[in-house]
DNA sequence: TTGCTTCTGTCATGGTGTGACAGTATCGTC
DNA sequence: GACGATACTGTCACACCATGACAGAAGCAA
């Protein structure tokens, strides 16, 4: 009978996932990912390490907290895109559009992507984190092509789209002379042409 | 001065990486990857768990022992391929050719790929293991296009080629009604066309 | 036998991640 | 204000992975 709850109940959380995330990013930047223990993060956040693992599944999960939420954005963008566009063009428009980060977030994004790219343990965790993102693309491709998202080509489209975007991210982190969207657009255009040898 | 060694020296190994690998695969099949401890593998192999970690970097590394050696095969195949072929066609020919596994190895390959696809910890380890494979493709693409392998497009070609192959592998493991090379060929042909919507 | 080399086991240790359980802080209700 | 329900927290114990240090074992060559 006590179903409908007004606002909240029980003891309020000591902190928030976002706050812990920022502390973790700070420590990772100071002394590296491997040399930072969960206990250090928890201590600076004012909680026990046991509580850290209630906020995040693993030490690596901290880096993906923001990203996980962006998959929903991606899905809704696919729902809104014009289906008159050729398939790969629609995907490019959606992906580039979703990645127009606000200027204030660029520094944090860059730090995060740099860590993911340079720390083996984080690169390893990437695969499972990117999976929902890939699936969103595969499902759109399947819908457009009238097949299951599990079919070979939709699956390949999801995977290769992510692969092209990761290449763009890596180049952007390494060079960074232009906006991220420029790199993404170039990589996805190349993918859509099948990487033809440009006649010069 | 004791440089040139005849055959061998020192205490001979108790076992071999290959023998430990087969034991591990057996145990993983029986009771799953997570529920198999390194100590169990080592015990059945007649060594201590410390010695296991001298044979393999980690528990997951066992699954990649064979794969690591195939990258050399891939590289030499790229050296031998006809450069007159269009770039993506050459890549397809090389990759499909390298994957013509002998019939006797198919069962083991399938078991391995199934584990890699279904166990999160193994999927996570995949990224770092595939990296040299991707690089081999990127280097060939860079050579053919007259750019660095680190440039955006060669990097994207390496990553997307692997992504397409992984899609083929997954479908082959799930369905498996035809030869692996059929799936690889189809995925790489689709990639080379930029996933155009087939007119029917 | 001696010395060198290579592989091995034992021991100790640090770190991740989880289950069990009790404690604490807030709610709504009487 | 006392009460129970709820949600979060800390402490404790534990299994497992992975690594460094060190000594012992087993082969070769002189």
B122 near B33, Cβ under 8 Å? yes
Sign for the CA dihedral angle at B101, B106, B112, B117 comes to positive
CA separation (Å) from A172 to A88, A169, A175, A183?
A: 22, 5, 5, 7
pLDDT score of B198: 60
Protein residue minimizing CA–C1' distance to D8: A11
Residues A171, B164: C-beta atoms closer than 8 Å: no
- For residue A128, which of A32, A61, A72, A196 has the smallest C-alpha distance? A61
- For residue B152, which of A182, A89, A85 has the smallest C-alpha distance? A182
- For residue B115, which of B11, B13, B23, B29 has the smallest C-alpha distance? B29
pLDDT score of A142: 97
pLDDT score of B7: 66
What's the whole-number mean pLDDT along residues A37-42? 98
CA B191 – CA B39 distance, rounded (Å): 44
CA of residue A54 to C1' of nucleotide D8, angstroms? 10
Query: Is a pLDDT exceeding 60 seen at residue B3?
Result: no
CA-based nearest distance B13→chain A, Å: 30
What is the tens place of the pLDDT at every residue in B51-76? Answer: 999 999 999 999 999 888 889 999 99
Domains of chain A: 17-56 (1.10.10.60), 64-192 (1.10.357.10)
What's the whole-number mean pLDDT along residues A54-77? 93
CA A172 – CA A96 distance, rounded (Å): 14
Q: Which residues of A116-152 are buried (b: 16+ CB within 10 A; e: fewer)?
A: beebeebbbbbbbbbbebbbbbbbbbbebbeeebebb
Q: How many CB pairs under 8 A join A and B?
A: 112
- For residue A191, which of A161, A149, A155 has the smallest C-alpha distance? A161
What is the tens place of the pLDDT at every residue in A79-116? Answer: 999 999 999 999 999 999 999 987 788 888 888 888 99
CA separation (Å) from B156 to A78, A148, B128, B142, B187?
A: 23, 26, 16, 11, 16
What mean pLDDT, rounded, does chain B reach? 92
Task: Tell me the pLDDT band of A200, cut-offs 50, 70 and 90.
Answer: very low
Query: Is a pLDDT exceeding 50 seen at residue B38?
Result: yes
């Amino acid at each position: 009978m006590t179903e409908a709850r007004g606002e909240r109940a029980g003891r309020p959380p000591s902190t928030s996932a976002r706050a812990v995330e920022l502390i973790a990013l700070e420590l990772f930047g100071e002394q590296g990912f491997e040399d930072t223990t969960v206990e250090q993060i928890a201590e600076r956040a004012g909680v026990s390490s046991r509580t850290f693992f209630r906020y995040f599944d693993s030490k690596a999960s901290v880096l993906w907290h923001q990203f996980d939420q962006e998959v929903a954005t991606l899905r809704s963008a696919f729902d809104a895109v014009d289906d008159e566009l050729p398939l790969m063009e629609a995907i490019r428009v959606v992906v580039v559009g979703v990645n127009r980060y606000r200027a204030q977030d660029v520094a944090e994004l860059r730090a995060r992507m740099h860590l993911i790219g340079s720390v083996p343990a984080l690169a390893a965790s990437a695969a499972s984190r990117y999976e929902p993102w890939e699936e969103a693309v595969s499902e759109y491709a399947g819908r457009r092509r009238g097949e299951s998202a599990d079919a070979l080509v939709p699956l390949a489209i999801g995977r290769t789209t992510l692969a092209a975007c990761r290449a763009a991210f890596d180049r952007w982190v390494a060079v960074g002379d232009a906006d991220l969207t420029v790199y993404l657009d170039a990589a996805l255009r190349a993918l859509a042409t099948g990487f033809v040898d440009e006649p010069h």
